[in-house]
Amino acid sequence: MAIVTHHALLLRELRFAAPARVKMWKGAATLKSGGVAIELREGESFTVPPFVRFSCLAHPRLAPGQTRPAVWSLALEAHASPEMERAADASKPWARKLAAAIFDNPAADWRAARVAGMWQVTPARLRSFLFAEGESLRALVREQRVAKVLAQLACMDDAGGGFAEAGFASAASMEQACQDVIGLPPEIAQRAISLLSSASPQPAAGHHGDALRRPRYRPYF
């Protein structure tokens, strides 16, 4: 499935430990990172290097007498090519390593004592590593849990799940985190995120009745 937005939608401060490919199926989008801007038109895509912060502004396509919604998807690559690694943010190796682990298992216990045990360091040493990179454990956990939610929402493959699977105590806390971390508007957050727990496919009406049909897009923005 892909995200459908009927209005200009800005998502800010996105960051993934893996390369993130944004593709426009309809409409247009502007990707920004620092002072660099990339314009995407219908059918175009761009891969953001690992752990580079970026914003995504999606625009519906305007035509005489009608507005066609913007449709876009986001896919994370399993492995970064040498070119992607050279363009990645190499200044935060500890934070990137931890971000990747959190993204893979957002509902795990990510308290300092457990992470420090995994890395065979003391909790104080762990915090000092992250502090030196301008990061904090708490903020990184929240950010990557939100990143997981967004990746599920914007993936072209059906990906269900709820607040517990994303590591949040409640749907309300997940919605609030999405608003705080990436700027998902309050009027959209609840409607969008509710689909994560109701994305099960429905039987298609056919001769045998055993085929499964899935909607192509998530029509909620």
Q: What is the DSSP string of 87-146?
A: HS-TT-HHHHHHHHHHHHSTTS---HHHHHHHHTS-HHHHHHHHHHTT--HHHHHHHHHH
Q: How far is CA 219 from the centre of its chain?
A: 17
pTM of the model: 0.86
Tokens of 118: 């995994």
- At a CB cut-off of 8 Å and minimum separation 6, what does 31 contact? 22, 37, 38, 40, 46, 48, 54, 55, 56
Instruction: Report the distance separating Cα 32 and Cα 55, nearest Å.
Output: 5
pLDDT at 214 over 60: no
Look at 9 and 99; give whichever has higher pLDDT.
Answer: 99
pLDDT at 203: 43
Q: What is the pLDDT of residues 138-173, one digit of tens each?
A: 999 999 999 998 888 887 665 556 788 889 998 889
Residue 202's beta-bridge partner residues?
Answer: 213
Q: Is 40 exposed, middle or buried (0-12, 13-18, 19+ CB in 10 A)?
A: buried
Name the pLDDT band for 195 (thresholds 50, 70, 90).
low
Tokens of 21: 């490919």
Q: What is the pLDDT of residues 102-135, one digit of tens each?
A: 999 999 999 999 999 999 999 999 999 999 999 9
pLDDT at 154: 83
What would the mean pLDDT of 42-60 be, rounded to a whole number?
95
Helix H or strand E encompassing 175: helix 171-182
Cα distances (angstroms) measured from residue 218 to each of 4, 153, 195: 6, 8, 8
pLDDT at 205: 44
pLDDT at 105: 95
**Contact 84/19 with Cβ under 8 angstroms?**
yes
Q: Kindly calculate the radius of gyration of the chain based on its CA atoms and give it in whole angstroms.
A: 19
pLDDT at 211 over 60: no
pLDDT at 198: 59
Name the pLDDT band for 16 (thresholds 50, 70, 90).
very high
Name the pLDDT band for 204 (thresholds 50, 70, 90).
very low
Ranges 68-77, 93-102, 196-205, most confident: 93-102
pLDDT at 159: 55
